[in-house]
Copies of this chain bind each other. A is one copy, B any other.
Amino acid sequence: MAQAVASTVPAAKPLPAYVNWKNADAMIVHTSSTLETKRSAFGSSIITPTNQLFIRNNLPVPDASIIADRDGWAISIEGVKNPRTLRVKDLKSMGLETTAMVLQCSGNGRGLFPNKPSGTPWQVGAAGCVVWSGVPVRAVVEALGGVNKGMPYMTGTGGEKLPEGIDPKSVMVERSVPVTAMADALLAWEMNGEPIPLAHGGPLRLVVPGYTGVNNVKYIKRLAFTAEQTDAAIQKTGYRISPPGQKGDPSHPPVWEMGPKSWINSPAPESGQLAAGPVQIKGVAFGGINAVKSVDVSVDGGKTWMKARLVGPDMGRYAWRQFVLPATLGPGSHTIACRVVDAEGNRQPEGRVENAGGYNNNSWRDHALTISVA
C-alpha cells in the first residue's frame, strides 16, 4: 500500500491560475479542475484551511465579475407558495446559521478501487471539514409561504456559463436531493470566515450537510422544490451507483448521503520511513449524516483493534472528529487501519460497494496504510 500511494502521486504540476492562492505544498494537482489535499497536510486542527481544501469543478469556474457585487447575486426560489427572486443582500436579513461539515467529493477514494474506474483517482484528499455561514433554506421557504404540495425534491441549479452549441441538459450542474435534506441546508455566502471564494462556489452556494460534494451546488441561481428529480445528465445518468461496466440510469441509486468513514493522516507513507519508537497515530472520522460515536484503530491490518481517543472540539454531527492512538512501533512493516461507528450504531464497512463510477468508497480495508519502520 505504501508503494501504491506513492506511485499515484503525480509529479508536481503547477497550481491553475484561478486557484494560484492555494498552498502548492499541500496540494496534488490532478488536472486544472481537480486538486487534492495531501494526506500529510490535514494536520490536527479539525478545520481544513481554505488554501488547502480540494477543488473539483464540473464546469469551468465563472468569470470573477460574479463576485464583484456579492450582495447583488440573485437566486430564484420556486415551488413555494410565493416564488420570488432574492438577492444575497435579502437573504442576509432573513436569518443566520453556521454549520461545520465534511465536504467530500463523491469519488473520494476512487483511486483505491483495484479496477480503476474512470475519473480522478482520488485517495483521501478530495475532502475537508469546513465551516459555512448562511441562511437556513427552511427560513427562506417559511418566509415565502412554504413548499408547495407534492414536491419531494429540492433541486438546485448552478450559475456556470454553459458551452454553446450543445444541449444544456447534458452539461449543466443541476442536482436534486430529497426535500427532507432541507432541514439542515443553507444558502451560504461564507466559508471558513471569509466570503466563499469563486473557486468554491461564491457568491452563493447551496450547502446540504451530510451529502456528497456534487449536491452542494455552486453559484446557485435557482432553488426549486420539484415533483421529479431533474433530468439534467449530471443527475439522470451521472453520479449513480450503477454496477461495474454499466452506465448509470434513473433506476440506480443517486449519490446522495455519505456513509461513515475514517482514515489515517499520520504517519503518512508520503512522509517517508518512520523511526522505531512511540508515535501518535492520527486521523479523521465522520458519520456522514450522523455524529461520530467511536473509532477503533488496528496496527496489524485489522486482526486486533484498540479504541482511539477523540480529540479537539466536537463541531457537530456533520463535522469530522480527529482521533489519536498512542502506539509504539518496532522495526518492520505495519498495516494501520481504522474504522468508525456512528451515533446510530452504523459501522464503517470492511469492503467497498463496487460501482462503475467509483463512488462512495468507505471501505476500511481499502483505506488501510502500510508503514515502513526502520
- Residues on A lying within 8 angstroms of B by beta carbon are 23, 42-52, 92-100, 131-133, 190-195, 277-280, 282, 311-316, 319, 322, 324, 326
Q: Verify B45–A131 contact, CB threshold 8 A.
A: yes
A287 to chain B, nearest CB (A): 15
Query: Which residues of chain B are near A282, meaning CB under 8 Å?
Result: 96
Interface CB pairs A-B, < 8 A, 12: A43-B193, A45-B98, A45-B191, A45-B193, A47-B193, A49-B193, A51-B51, A52-B194, A97-B311, A97-B312, A98-B322, A313-B313
Cβ–Cβ contact B96 & A42, under 8 A: no
Total identical chains: 2
Q: A131-B312, A313-B315 are in contact. Are A280 and B93 (CB under 8 A)?
A: yes
**Contact across chains for B45 and A192 when beta carbons are under 8 A apart:** yes
The 4 A-B residue pairs with the shortest CB-CB distance, nearest first, are: A98-B312, A313-B315, A45-B131, A45-B193
- Residues from chain B with Cβ under 8 Å of A313 in the complex: 98-100, 131, 313-316, 319
Q: Identify which of B47, B93, B133, B279 contacts A192 (C-beta below 8 A).
A: B47
Q: Specify which chain B residues have a CB less than 8 angstroms from the CB of A44 in the assembled complex.
A: 96, 98, 133, 190
Q: Among B46, B92, B279, B324, point to the contact of A193 (Cβ < 8 A).
A: B46
Task: Give Cα A97–Cα B323 distance, bound, in whole angstroms.
Answer: 10
**Bound Cα distance A278, B280 (Å):** 50
User: What distance in Å separates the Cβ of A26 from its nearest Cβ neighbour in chain B?
Assistant: 8
A192 touches B49 (CB 8 A): yes
Residues on B with beta carbons closer than 8 Å to the beta carbon of A315: 313, 315
Taking CB atoms, residues of chain B closer than 8 Å to A100 are 312-313
- A271 to chain B minimum Cβ distance, whole angstroms, is 11
Q: How far is the CA of A149 from the CA of B192 in the complex (A)?
A: 45
Identify A52's interface contact among B48, B52, B92, B193, CB under 8 A: B193
In the complex, what residues of B have CB within 8 A of residue A42's CB?
A: 193
Q: How far is the CA of A45 from the CA of B99 in the complex (A)?
A: 8
Measured between alpha carbons, how far is A15 from B178 in the docked complex, in Å? 48
Given contacts A43-B193, A44-B133, list 14 more A-B pairs with CB under 8 A. Answer: A45-B98, A45-B133, A45-B192, A45-B193, A47-B131, A49-B193, A94-B278, A95-B280, A96-B282, A98-B311, A99-B313, A100-B313, A133-B312, A313-B315
How far is the CB of A97 from the nearest CB of chain B, in Å? 6
Q: Is the CB of B46 within 8 A of A98?
A: yes
Residue of B nearest to A97 (CB): B311
Q: Name the residue on B nearest A98 (C-beta).
A: B312
Nearest CB of B to A328, in Å: 9
Q: Which of A193, A279, A324 has the largest count of B CB atoms less than 10 A from its CB?
A: A193
Chain B residues near A45 (CB, 8 Å)?
98, 131-133, 190-194
In the assembled complex, the CB of A147 is this many whole angstroms from the nearest CB of chain B, namely 22
A47 cross-chain contacts in B, Cβ below 8 A: 47, 131, 192-193
Would B97 and A133 count as touching, CB distance under 8 A?
A: no
Chain B residues, CB < 8 A from A97: 311-312
Give the residues in chain B near A326, CB-CB below 8 Å.
Answer: 95
Among A98, A100, A191, the one with the most B-chain Cβ atoms within 10 Å of its Cβ is A98
When distances are taken between beta carbons in the complex, the residues of chain B under 8 Å from A46 are 98, 131, 193
How long is the Cα–Cα vector from A48 to B313 in the complex, in angstroms? 16
CA distance A193 to B98 in the complex (A): 19
Given known contacts A132-B45, A133-B45, A319-B313, A93 and B277 CB-to-CB distance under 8 angstroms:
yes
